[in-house]
Amino acid sequence: MWPDLSISGPISPSTAKDSHHHYFHAAGSTSDRRSTHPAPESSVFRSARYLEGKEEVIQAWYMDDIEGDQRLPHHREPKQFVSIDRLSELGVLSWRLNADDYENDEALKKIREARGYSYLDICEVCQEKLPNYETKIKNFFEEHLHIDEEIRYCVEGSGRFFLFEGYFDVRDENDQWIRVAVNKGGMIVLPAGIYHRFTLDTNNYIKTLRLFVGEPVWTPHNRPVDHLPARKEYLDALQKKTAGGQAVEAH
């Protein structure tokens, strides 16, 4: 979702822990960007040391229809929270990782290896560091999809207690908005073809790792683009999930 910014680099993941550059990159083929690697229930993910308490850094709820500041929570009344398992049914995967040591985190390394995330860089979204900030924040909030996964790992925020750093809004199968709030330590994967948008919360700051299979393509396809193969494949996967009771695998 975020454009390719001017970031220092590149360095290899093997030397990242010894560097202060805000950019990592590993060689990867662009012939097939979509990851066909296993979902986190597989043995490779069970063997990694992920942190418990995922709901402390990732929460979700159905949004109201009230216009106003997009950075506010926009809960329905009464509040209607959405579970992590429900997000998984929509293809939205998530982890809680150690953001204080992301450069050396074996759990993150396991995820990258298993899902083929060969590209990684760091992006800070705030008025002081993002060129054309107001325009880009507006563009991020336009409903769109990507033909590849969108992977974001929040490694730093404002540090204000009880506030999240960013909101990733996704559409459910009934076209209702679900707001996915992510804080430091939360990593999410939005599947290709899902309609979504992004905004900061009132902290107005987030620092994330952006991951990708092969060379990154940040192109957003603003709704309506139901003719795109990625959209059709996502809807087909949702229908199969409904029929078979299986979660949609992010790919």
Comparing 14-23, 48-57, 237-246, the range with the smallest average pLDDT is: 14-23
Q: How far, rounded to the nearest angstrom, does the alpha carbon of residue 146 sit from its chain's CA centroid?
A: 12
> Does pLDDT of 178 surpass 60?
yes
> Does pLDDT of 27 surpass 60?
no
Which of the pair, 28 or 180, is modelled with greater confidence? 180
> Does pLDDT of 160 surpass 80?
no
Q: Is 146 annotated as a binding residue?
A: yes
| pTM score, whole prediction | 0.80
Q: Is 21 annotated as a binding residue?
A: no
**Domains of the chain: residue spans and CATH:** 21-244 (2.60.120.10)
Q: Is 74 annotated as a binding residue?
A: no
Q: Which residues of 175-187 are buried (b: 16+ CB within 10 A; e: fewer)?
A: eebbbbbbbbbbb
Which of the pair, 224 or 160, is modelled with greater confidence? 224
Q: Is 196 annotated as a binding residue?
A: yes
Given this model, what pLDDT does residue 243 score?
79
- pLDDT confidence bin for 61, thresholds 50/70/90: very high
- First-to-last CA distance in the chain? 16
